[in-house]
Amino acid sequence: GIISLISLAVLSYERYCTMTRTAEPDTTNYRKTWAGIILSWTYSLLWTLPPLFGWSSYGPEGPGITCSVNWHSKDANNASYIICLFIFCLVIPFAIIVYSYGKLLCAVRQVSSIQRGPGRSREQRILLMVLVMVLCFLLCWLPYAAVALIATFGQPGLITPAASIVPAILAKSSTIYNPIIYVFLNKQVSDVL
């Protein structure tokens, strides 16, 4: 889950950098691509290893068919890890996504204010794509984050195993939505299809 969140943040930032770059991108240089992949995996690894060394723990999630952070433990050790996960693995990636897509949209608006005609429809298509991507991100991860926070800080037994299944599936399936959105809302790709 963390790798998908961080990957979405890195991809949104890379998309912003690529779209606002004035020079033609070098398609033979994969250094930035590898740096993004390594950064995503390293950051994710740094946030998934602490439970193995005593900061919180892993355990069965929901009805016991998957494994995740022990959301139900009420001790300070576990609560501090949950708060850090929430901030560093949900809030910060979401802020990067909003910043990147917001800056991208501003750049597209500036270009389309200079150019009338096709630039306006391109701006509207990018705005739609950005809104759909951000909404999908929120729809996938906010229910999971809410259930995790309620399980950690709410009354014991408030979140039943059955109630935690759908948010977990939504969160874990989040990586498939961005490529689908990009394919259907990117004019260059949809014209080929």
Q: What is the pLDDT of residues 61-102, one digit of tens each?
A: 766 777 788 877 778 998 899 899 999 998 999 899 889 888
Mind listing the pLDDT tens digit for each residue in 162-180?
Answer: 777 888 888 878 778 777 8
Distance of alpha carbon 188 from the chain centroid:
24
With beta carbons less than 8 A apart as the criterion, state whether 119 and 164 touch.
no
Helix 92-114, helix 118-153: angle, nearest 10: 170
pLDDT band at 33 (very low <50, low <70, confident <90, very high): confident
With beta carbons less than 8 A apart as the criterion, state whether 128 and 41 touch.
no
Checking if the pLDDT of 36 tops 60, the result is yes
**Number of domain units in the chain:** 1
pTM of the model: 0.75
Domain containing 104 equals 1-191
How far apart CA 97 and CA 133 sit, in angstroms, is: 9
pLDDT for 22 equals: 63
pLDDT for 47 equals: 95
Mind listing the pLDDT tens digit for each residue in 116-144?
Answer: 555 556 666 766 777 787 788 888 888 88
How far apart CA 21 and CA 167 sit, in angstroms, is: 37
The total number of residues written for the chain in this structure? 193
Report the CATH number at residue 77.
1.20.1070.10
